[in-house]
Structure 1
């Protein structure tokens, strides 16, 4: 008798029952993410995703491993990049994978009890191991997709923040202001260099006021990038005036051996705007 197929049929008839049992025992006290949703439509969508998982996992017992994993690809990518799952702490999601795994271990035990004496213990143990291995592989796959997609979102948000926090603001036909606020790390400094040169070129800026009064801390790499920006502007024929340099930044620049001789620096933005640069 083909007990693999019989087990598959046994499990196939229980997919929605498993979904409802899973949701009924779900810890809904989590403060955020997919498991704390209260909207009926969102809950139904989550149940359907869970139900689809059961349907696909059942095929473990009637398909070869490669086909089984191939069939799972669509589900893994869809759920790993789902907005509600992205907002859910990963350890909550992993907890649910293991709960589902436990459900299957219990069901295999139930099926084995129904056919006690007909199925060897070796066969039963192989089913347990297949479920554990399959869920482990799906978890590995899911977390990789989840991480990759989350990083894409994070990078897109970081680029937007950099763009919004590093604006070249036109003052008149030829002059512009670059007000810098907050901490400047190496990544932001690199972006600042590229973005400022591009914006100045597009806006046909001939004089750029760089105000550092809102910058509290920079490291040596960042200070070097800021002064590289001034040098690059000079090569493009753009005059630059630096205002609001804090003592800490000045000290870092001196330690780097950066000379202020060829740079126009003033204590505040008001003085910079009142300079006669002609």
Structure 2
């Protein structure tokens, strides 16, 4: 049985010592939170470590399920902490493993302090409980960090997609969609969704799509661009296409796209001039 109130008390009384010894032995030459020289960042790091010890030593007085559940808030805090997000994951894992060694040493100290001998089997049970607890918490922190980073990346990608398909308002229910750079399938999908939604929201009835800044698209992307034009027609938006490069036109022809009902001009100035007549 891993439970032992005396061992819990022994470790809890040394939580501050554990934090100080850990920080003093910390390799501060790397990057991220462990290398910070900011007094507030150092104070926060020590406080997080101290709170970790307060939680961890409860493995010897709590049921396992309740123990890990109580750790959830700490795991989320560390996994989403800006300083830890900017710290390489392998460094975070390294520090968990160093703390694990600290605890195994303190268990030996506890055994030495006892007046009555303890079986090696019981000592192994205590040590296994610590190893398992730290490994689970370490894994959960890394997973939370990766989940939060992935969410941030998705949000940044969405922002990039929004900025890469700007719908510019023009007078009298008109708007301009200037497309620049290479367009891959993901960006083409974002352009399709954002433009249809934007035209509906802004009540656009005539959209100028300028492709003069687009140099390369694949067949799927070309198809999506012309799907956009079809979608705009279905919601009552007239489309004028300008700056259609020969390569894109050739791809469209190979796809069998009919240009018959699409207004096309050589450049944006001609398109807007036509739209104002």
Match of 2:185 in 1: 186
> Please, what is the CA RMSD of the aligned residues?
2.2
1:93-104 superposed matches below 5 A: 93-104=92-103
Q: Structure 1 residues 103, 272: CA separation in 2 closer, same or farther (over 3 Å shift)?
A: same
State which drifts further: 100-109 or 184-193: 184-193
- Unaligned stretches of 5+ residues in structure 2: none
Match of 1:47 in 2: 46
Match of 2:8 in 1: 8
Contact kept, 8 Å, 2:100 with 2:131, in 1: the verdict is: yes
Match of 1:59 in 2: 58
SS at match of 2:28: coil
Distance 2:43 2:245 in 1: 56
TM-score by length of 2: 0.90
Match of 2:19 in 1: 19
Match of 2:132 in 1: 133
- Unaligned stretches of 5+ residues in structure 1: none
1:138-157 superposed matches below 5 A: 138-157=137-156
Q: Structure 1 residues 249, 37: CA separation in 2 closer, same or farther (over 3 Å shift)?
A: farther
Q: Structure 1 residues 216, 110: CA separation in 2 closer, same or farther (over 3 Å shift)?
A: farther
Distance 2:192 2:132 in 1: 49
TM-score by length of 1: 0.90
SS at match of 1:275: helix
Contact kept, 8 Å, 2:3 with 2:59, in 1: the verdict is: no
What are the superposed Cα offsets for residues 118-145 of structure 1, whole Å, 9 maximum, x if unpaired?
A: 0111111112211111112112222222
Distance 1:6 1:256 in 2: 77
Distance 2:208 2:256 in 1: 23
Q: Structure 1 residues 3, 137: CA separation in 2 closer, same or farther (over 3 Å shift)?
A: closer
What are the superposed Cα offsets for residues 20-61 of structure 1, whole Å, 9 maximum, x if unpaired?
A: 121122222233x32232221121111101110011111111
State which drifts further: 50-59 or 230-239: 230-239
Q: Structure 1 residues 153, 114: CA separation in 2 closer, same or farther (over 3 Å shift)?
A: same
Match of 1:86 in 2: 85
> 2:238 aligned with 1:239, yes or no?
yes
Q: Structure 1 residues 253, 102: CA separation in 2 closer, same or farther (over 3 Å shift)?
A: farther
SS at match of 2:21: helix
State which drifts further: 203-212 or 251-260: 251-260
What are the superposed Cα offsets for residues 223-268 of structure 1, whole Å, 9 maximum, x if unpaired?
A: 2211110011112222212222334433433333323233223333
Distance 1:113 1:248 in 2: 80
Match of 1:216 in 2: 215
After superposing on structure 2, the runs of 4+ consecutive aligned residues of structure 1 that deviate more than 3 Å are: 113-117
Count of aligned positions: 276
State which drifts further: 85-94 or 11-20: 85-94
Q: Structure 1 residues 69, 3: CA separation in 2 closer, same or farther (over 3 Å shift)?
A: closer
